[in-house]
Structure 1
Amino acid sequence: MPVMPTKGKSQAQSTSKQLLVNVPTEGDDTAYGQALFPVPAEDPNDPLQWSKVQKTMILIVVCLYSFLGNSALLGVGPYIRLWSETFNVSQAEASTLISYPNLAYGLTSWLLVPLYLRFGRRPVMLGSLLAFIAGLAGCSRATSFNGLLAARIIHCLGAVALCLAALATLPAAYMLPTKYSWRLFFYVILAFAIALFILAFFFVEETSYQRGKLADTGITNEDHDSANAASSQEKPGSSMVEQAIVIPQRKSFLSTLSPWGRVDRTVPFFTLLWRSMTYILVPQVLWVITSFGIIIGLGGLSFNFIFPIKITEPPYNWPASISGIHSVGGVLGFLLAVPFTPTSDILAAYLTRRNNGIREAEMRLGVMLPAMIIGPIGLVVYGLTAQLNLHWIGYFLGAGMASWCGFFYYSFTLAYAVDSYNQNTSEMLMAINVGKQLVSFGLGFKVLDWIMQNSYAAVISAGFGSILLANNMFLIVFMIWGKRIRRFMSTTWLAKLHGRSAGT
């Protein structure tokens, strides 16, 4: 890119570079022929222009935070029986120490997303980490059931979730025979959380960025004509638009450490709270909510409640110290699904080329057909293993199958919803997070009571298996009629509401 002359610039302007750049009109091509959007600005302060190392570091911090948050939520599964005895409550009531904090995740996203849109990502993340740390400290020192429950809710209000953290039940169970018993688990998570806060403070820069139109920089006609002459050698048919912009200097490291973000006073905080909930009325979004909620409630919470109780009783009689090993099955299921991550985009790109370059949101859904059946079969296997006291491998196999299915429905239902409705994506995600936690809470809240009143086969295999199968089969509905549904929704008041509010 040729550097333009700097005639007539003030001393203040001399700290910036004035360039004539070629700006893509629709984005550059990336993997699988998909367009790059948004187009990165020439500003070195644009997060899309940051170094790969910095982007990777932020990703690592976010993933570690997600891992710790979900570890703190689900890792305590092996403690249900102990807490029942310690606090003199039923096992079903002790399980609410997981159910209610799980519900808090939904409220967290509903509140934190408008906050980070208004006040910036960095202060909200650092603040939520402090709440996470405070809640964990409270858990580690709690002496009553209600105190422990309150602290659990606080640390979940400050955290987010991630699939692989279900593995935390394994070390949590091994901590039971130690001097500090279940409190050691919270001490360990607390130590990691403090280290993560320090890491986030130094490496997670504010990522909120205002993408305005590139403005005229006052280049003289002589300069512009010279630049046009120089650029006339570009290949014919280029889709690039020449624009002159001022490129500021990169922020100093010290300035990036400010705890304050970029305040956007145009963000209507309270409007976002109610308007986001209207997305629950959109069929594709509702499918994401039920898919996430059912898999979390039936797979994550139910497995977490049932296995530590079953495996420490006859005929298994395993020690409590290894009662968290069931998480290995779920994690293996996720890991076996990871290689299929790009298949959805690959299939969509292939079908787009066959469709003369016209992309439809439903083109990515075909790869989910095997998962549609495998997940419910996993619940049947798990429930029958518990009912008939079959070989313990059945618990691992059932959990692994359900988790393998879950990876597809976690990843691709959300991608499908975003493809279908890309107005106000942040608000859509708020509705999804609130909705999925409500669904998972409802399915996991009384699961132990339901099982005691009926049976493992009736509740897990027949009941939950049927619910998951019914939800999964909506895949066929959207593959066939998804486009018609989208067209109909585009004519409703919901489309007008979110169309008018896009970008606010």
Structure 2
Amino acid sequence: MTVDFNAIPGTSHLLTQREDIDKEDIVLIPCPSDDPNDPLNWSRRRKWLHVFCLVVYTFATGIPGTCIYSILTDISKAPGVHVSVSDLNAGTGYLFLFLGLGALVFQPLAQQFGKRPVFLLSTLGCALINLWQPYITSNGQWIASKILAGFFSSPIESLPEISISDLFFEHERATYMGIYAVALFGSNYIAPMVAGLINENSRSLDVGGWKWVIYWSVIFCSMSFVFLFFFMEETNYERKIKVRHDKEGNILYAITSNDQKKVPVNISMSHVSPDSDEAVVEGNETLANQAVLVDYSDSEETPKVPKTFVQKLSLTSGMKSKFLLWEYLKGPFYMLQFPIVLWSGFLYGSSLFWYSVLNGTESIVLSAPPYSFSSSMCGLAYLSPVIFTVLLYFYAGFTTDWVKVKIAKKRNGLSHAEDRLWCLAVYSILGPCALILWGVGAQHGIHWFGVVFGLGLLAGLCIIGCVNAVTYVIDCYQEMSAEAIATVVVIRNTMNFAMDYGITPWIENTGLQNTFIAAAFICLFCISTFLLMVATGLYWRKKTKNAYWSLVEKRRNMGISH
């Protein structure tokens, strides 16, 4: 199918033009095939099992790298360990840096050979590498261990988002992306919470203290590997759309595996007036640029059946028929030319700034007077971020999808990718307030509840930035979402490397109060840039559409499908 260069990436006809719009009127983007093994056609139970596997994977690889946040001071004071708290935080910075750089390796491997083997390799590698950390004695060993841990854990940053986009349609994507975000941040907060208790109990029993924090995380990671081997399916799928057409050859509708039900498909954006916010449909609905291959055959075929349990265990079912690894490796660099991708990386990175700030200062602030928390209490303080992360999921997930559909309804069904971004308004207001409550409040010794409340609120707000950044870039560049996400993650983690590396000297040189006052204004500026993108996003997508569709057409001619 030829590529429509008039289509605007990220602009779609999300709702059919009827007076009484309900759930049945939502256009399915991307359009599913008629194959029950197409991830878009999986049963709800099958999809939920895969989402649960993504949560298990996220916890398995996230916990070993984050369980030390509440015990940094204990590690630095341990006999035989010659690493300062500042160096420990710097090591975390290297972890984040290679979490991003590793995506440039594992994302192409997942596209070529399948996501399932990459998930399993990452889980196993994470368990083995983190087993080294209890035996480090110098800063060089610490940095090396964090670099390797970051590299093998890197699929956690980019692969689950793409798996979710494989399973769910555009109008429901943020809801499930929110589950991933809760798992990502929740694991990072639960890990130090439990770690403090393990450290305290292990030390009192004289069985290794902080080392058992690492041991237990490795045990959990290893058990997760076994679970994922048996229950995590492959979501790589080369979709081929079957359509029915009239005598003149015009496409009438697409057919899915649901009893060949007529399913509304995306309106070609060539029917959208450049000066109008409403879609004007001329003729039949088309597949626009969604499908790589369209099957025009009206002949009857043997119905396809879902895979058996044994077939789902295959490590090669996601392997692409053509070897194009080099082209997949170049993909993330192609995406650097699009302002939407660059800004999404900036938004994600600036949201994670404060996650890094909190993790780098939590143990320092709460273990010092006037709070003087023990390591177990420092860990228990992470219960606040866990609670706020779960509470704010409903806003970051459901509300973001609801806003997108609601605005599309007002535009006669037309949806712009920027519609989601209005949900960032809450973050831009509450984020600076939470930073001041945490940092300035701690400097003035306010009651511990106020400080811990600020800690939790800011931690929970991070998922709003995560969900909006990821869903926005996928909505805009669905056909190259894997490459776009890899680019976003590299930008995000490079920013976080700088923050982790510099947070301790920043506080030491300017003091807690001045640091967090400055941080509050930086947060306000960074998150508020969503207003600029709401105003200019459509302009940038129109300006770069020819470059994007040329890239898509080139890769499709090479045999690369979404």
> Which residue type is aligned with residue 340 of structure 2?
Q
Q: 1:327 aligns with which of 382, 387, 394?
A: 382
In structure 2, the residue matched to 1:170 is 193
Instruction: Please tell me the residue identity of whatever aligns with 1:313.
Output: A
* Aligned pairs for 1:161-240 within 5 A: 162-165=184-187, 166-177=189-200, 178=202, 179-214=207-242
Q: What's the % identity of the aligned pairs?
A: 23
Q: Counterpart amino acid of 1:456?
A: L
Q: Could you tell me whether the CA contact under 8 Å between 1:280 and 1:432 is conserved in 2?
A: no
Structure 2 residue 307 is matched with structure 1 residue 313: no
> In 2, distance between residues paired with 1:414 and 1:46?
23
Distance 1:497 1:50, change over 3 A: closer
Q: Go from structure 1 to structure 2 and tell me whether the alpha carbon gap of 1:51 and 1:487 turns closer, same or farther (over 3 Å shift).
A: closer
- In the TM superposition, what is the alpha-carbon distance from 1:214 to its structure 2 partner? 4.2
Tell me the amino acid that sits aligned with residue 488 of structure 2: I
Q: Return closer, same or farther for 1:257/1:358 CA change in 2, 3 Å cut-off.
A: closer
Find 2:83's aligned residue among 68, 82, 89. 89
Alpha-carbon deviations, 1:418-459, whole Å to 9, x = none?
A: 223333111001101111111111112121011111111222
CA gap 1:482/1:49 in 2 versus in 1, 3 angstroms: closer
Mapping of residues 38-53 of structure 1, within 5 Å: 38-53=30-45
Pairs within 5 Å for 1:399-478: 399-462=455-518, 464-478=519-533
Change (3 A) 1:311 1:350: closer
> Residue 12 of structure 1 corresponds to which residue in structure 2?
none
1:131 to 114, 118, 125: 125
Is the Cα contact below 8 Å between 1:332 and 1:400 reproduced in 2?
yes
Q: Report if the CA contact (8 A) 2:83-2:137 is conserved.
A: no
Structure 1 residues 168 and 266: alpha-carbon distance in aligned structure 2, compared to 1, 3 A threshold? same
CA distance in 2, matches of 1:494, 1:40: 23
1:365 matches 2:421 = yes
How does 1:286-305 map onto structure 2 within 5 Å? 286-297=342-353, 299-305=354-360
Deviations 1:40-98 (A, max 9, x none): 43333333344433332222121111123222222211232223233223321122232
> For the Cα contact (< 8 Å) 1:214–1:245, is it kept in 2?
no
Match of 1:274 in 2: 330
Distance 1:193 1:358, change over 3 A: same
Asked if the contact 1:32–1:345 (Cα under 8 Å) also holds between the matched residues in 2, the reply is no
Q: Residue 349 in 1 paired to residue 349 in 2?
A: no
Paired residue for 1:36, among 19, 25, 28? 28
Question: Which one-letter code corresponds to 1:497 in the other structure?
Answer: L
User: Within the alignment, does 1:122 sit opposite 2:178 as a pair?
Assistant: no
The letter for the 1-side match of 2:120 is L
- Cα pair distance change 1:274/1:466, threshold 3 Å: farther
Letter in 2 for 1:137: L
**Offset, 1:498:** 4.5
Residue range with higher mean Cα deviation, 325-334 or 142-151: 142-151
Highest CA radius of gyration, 1 or 2?
1
Residues 328 and 396 in structure 1, CA contact (< 8 A), matched pair in contact too: no
Residue 138 of structure 1 aligns with an amino acid whose one-letter code is W
Equivalent residue number for residue 103 of structure 1: 97
Structure 2 CA distance for aligned equivalents of residues 128 and 330 of structure 1: 26
Task: Point out where structure 2 has 5 or more consecutive residues left out of the alignment.
Answer: 1-13, 158-183, 245-258, 263-282, 287-295
Q: Is the 8 A contact 1:32 1:346 kept in 2?
A: no
- Unaligned runs of 5+ residues in structure 1 are 1-25, 217-230
Name the TM-score, length of structure 1 as normaliser. 0.83
Who is 1:54 aligned against? 46
Q: CA deviation at 1:144?
A: 4.6
Judged with a 3 Å threshold, the aligned counterparts in structure 2 of structure 1 residues 326 and 190 are, in CA distance, closer, same or farther, namely: same
Deviations 1:322-352 (Å, cap 9, x if unpaired)? 1123322222222221222222222222222
Aligned amino acid, residue 500 of structure 1: K
Residue type at the aligned position of 1:416: Y
CA 1:360 to 1:55, structure 2 compared with 1: closer, same or farther past 3 Å? Answer: closer
Q: Distance in 2 between matches of 1:488 and 1:364?
A: 21
| Residue deviations 1:446-485 (CA, integer Å, cap 9, x gap) | 21011111111222221x2222111111111122222222
Q: Give the match's secondary structure for 1:59.
A: helix
| Residues 381 and 461 in structure 1, CA contact (< 8 A), matched pair in contact too | no
SS at match of 2:542: helix
Q: CA deviation at 1:213?
A: 4.5
* CA distance in 2 between partners of 1:408 and 1:202 (Å): 32
Q: Counterpart of 1:168 in structure 2: which amino acid?
A: A
1:247 maps to 303
- Does the residue aligned with 2:320 lie in a helix, a strand or coil? coil
Counterpart of 2:268?
none
Conserved 8 A contact 1:42-1:247 = no
Give the number of aligned pairs: 458
Stretch moving more, 465-474 or 247-256:
247-256
Which amino acid is the alignment partner of residue 112 of structure 1? F
- Structure 2 vs 1, CA of residues 123 and 261 (structure 1 numbering), >3 Å: closer, same or farther? farther
**Paired AA for residue 239 in structure 2:** R
Deviation digits for residues 354-388 of structure 1, max 9, x if unmatched?
A: 21222222222223222221112211222202322
Counterpart in the other structure of 1:19: none
2:64 corresponds to which residue? Answer: 72
Tell whether the 8 Å contact from 1:32 to 1:349 is kept in structure 2 after alignment: no
The 1-side partners of 2:443 and 2:333 are apart by 40
* Alpha-carbon shift at residue 249 of structure 1 (Å): 4.3
Contact 1:120 1:263 in 2 (8 A): yes
Hey, what's the Cα distance between the residues in 1 that align with 2:420 and 2:469? 9
